Structure formats: structure tokens, C-alpha cells
Amino acid sequence: MTNEELKAKLTEWHPEASFEEGGEWVNLVSTTGNLLSLMQQLRQEPSLSFDYLFCLTCVDFKTQLTMVYHLTSTTLRHKLVVKVKLDPKQPEVETVSAIWRTAEFLEREVYEMFGVNFLHHPDLRLLILPDGWEGKNPMRKDYEDPVNMIKL
Amino acid sequence: MYRETDIIQSADQSPEGYMIINVGPQHPATHGVLHLVITLNGETIKKVEPHLGYIHRSIEKMCESLSYRQFIYVTSRMDYLSAHINNHACALCVEKGLQVEIPERAKVIRVLMDELTRIASHELWWGAMAMDLGAFTPFFHAFRERETINDIMEETCGARLTMNYMVPGGVMHDIHPNFQRRVKEFIQLYKSKIHEYDELVTGNIIFQNRMKGVGILSAEDAISYGCTGPVARGSGVSSDIRKVQPYEIYDKLQFDEVLETGCDSFARYLIRIKEMNQSIRIVEQLIDNIPEGDFQAKTKAVLKLPKGEFYTRVETARGELGVYIVSEGGTTPYRIKFRSPGFSNLSVLDKIARGGKIGDLIAMMGTLDLVIPDIDR
């Protein structure tokens, strides 16, 4: 499916969703409430069948945190980027690890690096940071640590 | 990282009296500082929990304060066996943002280097994996060929491991005058020796017994867990980025995507052996056809990417590497994410190891071809 067809189809299903311009793929902006049902639909609908989540990450824009999901289909080969904007003070979003198992590890990484709380995640624990880590999340823009400096 | 109390609690609570074993962080078979907490019932594996972070250098955060020319050098330290391909991915992503068209000569040199890297990486994997299974000799056979590639790299790039040869706009400097002759010599050497690999290891009945039917990974699971590279192709999932979403000149080259449907450790083993032959095929096509011209496009001294998001996917020796750059229009990236193949391939270890025997775990890990700095970043 081309980008235009994909965009038309998604607008038809989710009139409330907005699109971001730029980038080579379609950028769909969803809301925290709609995310899980949207993702399930993207995975299960045969004409879309986004069965492969190839990148899951978070970007700290200071005023908001943006979750970015890169999806593709191993049969149809089209791609889609789904974004969700979160409140940086209390970031919470539903987990997608029940749909794509790879999200389980990727979300654990985002959880410790950005402090995003994934609701209903099966095993939300620290993965990379040392046990008993206290303090801020290292990948946030306001993170400062003069002792263990990671900024060059 | 784990909490000790959690583990003691779960052992106490289990009526069967499960045993917990730590493999690593210092263990020869983990090929680096990987720490696995394994729950066992007798010899049967009930659960494998990886604990990461022992070599985490926060490369993504570091890159946020490095310029678009500088950050590429850090990425050689991620998957150090695919250093060229990591640099290539970053250079491609920056070029995508700058909309620079690079000269044909640079493209061909890049692909040649990528494929030589892939062979060198698979050689090392083959030797190391045989060593994990207790056979020491293959390691020397593998390094005999690998050293030849390293010598070729050293002559052209000045380094044997962290090459830093690809830069935005092309390659850093032209190939060494000896390059073509030495690569051809390497092809001759490789072709005269590759049959030894099959004689020594592939056809070995003990080896086959340890690999066949072990570590079963279905195609659905491979996709769901985000496995790429030889791990996914061993389950019959077509995932070679060079075919799926061709970059540089891969769409003009004659090579096959190797697929196996065995879904077990042996299938993943065969994929890498066959992939080396395909890489040799690519090198043979290109080595006499390096076009004349510039090896670098003209770019500004200080690179500035326009505001926006750029994503490139390339195929490293281990699978799909994604580079995601978010730019705010400055001279440094606002955010960089490296989607590393090892991270997703490691997450499937628990799935394929459950129900297997502890003695097979090392063989399964060997066929996943984990490079720990690539997982930790």
C-alpha cells in the first residue's frame, strides 16, 4: 500500500487522528486512550497486517515526551510511524507488548531511560541501569550528573 | 539488574525446588559481559533472564552533544565486528538529511567494505561458536582467513577493528593501490579453504546432533520478537534489508537471500555459512568494476540537518540496524536512536531456551551471534 492509500484508509477509520508532515513514511499521531485499540487494529486488519515493530523509542521534547513506534509488514512491506504525546510530569501509556513481543524489552529500556510508565506491562523492571537506581532518568534532557558524566 | 531478594523468594516459593544459576557477567561463552540468570529444574531450563548494562556507554546520549561528523566514530564501538556497516548506516542517514548524492566510486567501495566486513564477522562467529562447543581448532582456521581481511582493511583504513572509514559524502580517503590485488588474493584463499569448514564442523555428526532440533524458533515468534538477520532467516522469514529495502547499489547486484526453514540452531548455522559465499559473490562482481572518479562528494565543513526525522535501515552481519535521527535544525542531533539487531535477537533467548537442557544453552546462544556492546550501546 502506498503512503497516500494508507493515509486515506487510516483517516477513514480514525477521523480524530492527525498526521504529521515530513519524513518518508506516514506519521500518525494518536492519543494515549486510543493507542491500544489502534495498534490492535493495525496488527489484525488483513489489508494492513503490521506484524513487525522494528523500532520503539521515546523522544524528550521538554514540554512533552513523544513515544515513537515504527511498524512494518513482513508480507506487504509498507511502513507506518505511530506517535503518542505524553505529559513529562506523569508519562503513562498502555503497553503494546501483548501485540508485539519485542516491545517487552524495548519498553523496559524506555521505562528506565525516560521514566515512562507502561500500564499492564508483564515485567516492568530495570534492564540496563544498576539495581537500586535512584534519581532521574538518564536520557531525559534535564538530566545532569557531574560524577558519571555522559555528556561530552 | 536483578534484586537478590526477588530471586531467593521465587526459589523458596517454587514447590519443585528450582535452582538458579548465574552465567556471566564474566563467562567465556557469553562473549562479553552478558549476565544470564537461569532458572533450572534439574537440567531443564525453566527461564532465562538477561541482565544487561555491564558495558553500557550511553552512546545515544553521547551522540546528542557530538556533531554530525563526529558521532559516526562512536558507532564503530557498538557492534565492533560490523564497524564498517555501522558507520555506513550513520553516513546514509546524514546524507538522507542533507540530500547529498554520493559518487559511484564511493558507493562501490562502501559495498565492498560492507561485504568484506560481513565475511570477517561470520568467520569470527564460526570460530567462536565451534569453540563454545568444545572444538578449538576451527578458531584457528577461521582466523587464518579473517586476518587476511583485517590486513586489507588496515592498509586502506588504517585500523583493524574500529575502521571509521565511511564519512557523510563518501569514504574518508581512496582505496590503497594494493587493495584490488589483495582482495583477489583473499578470494582465492577463501575458495581454496571454505571446504574445510564443512569438513571440520558442518558435516561432523557430533556437531549436528548438538544443533539439530535444538532452540526451535517459529516464524511467527521470530517476527513478533523482532528477530532479524540470520536468526530470522533460519526460520524462513525473509528479512534481508539489502533485498527488502535496497540501499546503495544492492538492487543492481546479483546475490541471493539465503533462507532455511529448519527453525533450529543448525538452520541458523547454515545461513551464515551460505551468506559468506553470497558475500564473496558480491565482492567478485565489484572488485574489477570500481568506477573511476571522486571518492567523496563535496560537503560543507559543518553539517546542519534540516528540522525533521530521518531513519535508515541497513543489514549488518547480525541483522537489521536502524538509525533514527531527530533533528531540530542544529549542528548536533537532538535525539539519536540505534535500533540494534542484537537487542531484539537476545530477547528471544528465553523463548527458544525454555524446555531445553542447560548443556544446549551455549549452543543456542552461539547461533544467535550476540555482540554485547551492540546490545548495551
In this structure, what CATH number is given to the domain that contains residue B327?
1.10.645.10
How many C-beta neighbours within 10 Å does residue A63 have? 8
Structural domain range at position B16? 4-51
**Residues B240 and B329 occupy one common structural domain:** yes
Q: Name the domain boundary from B51, B70, B88.
A: B51
**pLDDT at B87 (0 to 100):** 92
Residue A138 falls inside a structural domain:
no
Strand partners, B31: none
Only one residue has cell 534519581, namely A135
Closest CA–CA distance from residue A118 to any residue of chain B (Å):
18
**Residues B37 and B70 occupy one common structural domain:** no
Local confidence pLDDT in tens for the 377 residues of chain B: 444 445 444 545 555 678 888 887 877 777 778 888 888 888 888 888 888 888 888 888 888 888 888 888 888 888 888 899 999 999 999 998 888 889 999 999 999 999 999 999 999 999 888 888 888 888 898 888 899 999 999 998 888 888 888 889 888 888 888 898 999 999 999 999 888 888 888 888 888 888 888 888 888 889 999 899 899 998 988 888 888 888 888 888 888 888 888 888 899 999 999 999 999 999 999 888 888 888 888 888 888 888 888 999 999 988 899 999 999 888 888 999 999 998 988 889 888 888 888 888 888 888 888 888 888 88
Q: What is the pLDDT of residues A129-149, one digit of tens each?
A: 888 887 788 888 888 776 766
Structural domain range at position A58? 3-119
Closest CA–CA distance from residue B107 to any residue of chain A (Å):
22
What CATH number is given to the structural domain containing A67?
3.30.460.80
Q: Which H or E run includes A53? A: strand A52-60
**Residues B366 and B285 occupy one common structural domain:** yes
Query: What is the residue-wise DSSP string for B140-151?
Result: HHHHHHHHHHHH
- Using a CB–CB cutoff of 8 Å, tell me whether B123 touches chain A: no
**pLDDT at B15 (0 to 100):** 54
Indicate yes or no: CB of A57 within 8 angstroms of CB of B53.
no
**Residues B119 and B198 occupy one common structural domain:** yes
Q: Which set of grid coordinates corresponds to residue A46?
A: 488483513
Question: What are the phi and psi torsion angles at B50 (to 5°)?
Answer: -80, 140
Indicate yes or no: CB of A74 within 8 angstroms of CB of B223.
yes
**pLDDT at A124 (0 to 100):** 86
Interface of B with A in 344-373 (CB under 8 A): 344, 346-347, 351
Please tell me which residue of chain B has the smallest CA distance to A114.
B61
Cα–Cα dist B251/B287, whole Å: 17
Q: What is the pLDDT of residues B159-174, one digit of tens each?
A: 888 888 888 988 888 8
Q: Are B337 and B324 in contact (CB under 8 A)?
A: yes
**Considering its fold, how many domains does chain B have in total?**
2
**Residues B296 and B329 occupy one common structural domain:** yes
**Residues B72 and B10 occupy one common structural domain:** no
Residue A99 falls inside a structural domain:
yes
Residues of chain B contacting residue A22, judged by C-beta atoms under 8 Å apart: 308-309
Q: What does the H/E/C string look like for B164-185?
A: CCEECCEECCCCCCCHHHHHHH
Q: What is the pLDDT of residues B195-221, one digit of tens each?
A: 888 888 888 888 888 888 888 888 888
How far apart, in Å, are the Cα atoms of B66 and each of A119, B62, B91, B300? 35, 7, 14, 16
Q: What is the pLDDT of residues A99-120, one digit of tens each?
A: 898 999 999 999 988 888 888 8
**Considering its fold, how many domains does chain A have in total?**
1
Measure CB to CB from residue A53 to each of B51, B56, B226 and give the nearest one. B226
Residue A149 falls inside a structural domain:
no
Indicate yes or no: CB of B53 within 8 angstroms of CB of A128.
yes
Identify the residue among A68, A128, A136, A147 best suited for mutation to test binding to B, counting B beta carbons within 10 A and taking the highest.
A128
**pLDDT at B13 (0 to 100):** 53
Indicate yes or no: CB of B322 within 8 angstroms of CB of A55.
yes
Nearest to B92 by CA among B115, B114, B64: B114
pLDDT at A74 over 60: yes
- Using a CB–CB cutoff of 8 Å, tell me whether B225 touches chain A: yes
Please tell me which residue of chain B has the smallest CA distance to A61.
B334
Only one residue has cell 560537503, namely B299
**pLDDT at B323 (0 to 100):** 92
Strand partners, A20: A27
Please tell me which residue of chain A has the smallest CA distance to B306.
A22
Cα–Cα dist B319/B316, whole Å: 5
Interface of B with A in 237-266 (CB under 8 A): 237-239, 244-245
**Residues B25 and B141 occupy one common structural domain:** no
Q: Are A31 and A49 in contact (CB under 8 A)?
A: no
**pLDDT at B5 (0 to 100):** 44
Residues of chain B contacting residue A25, judged by C-beta atoms under 8 Å apart: 311
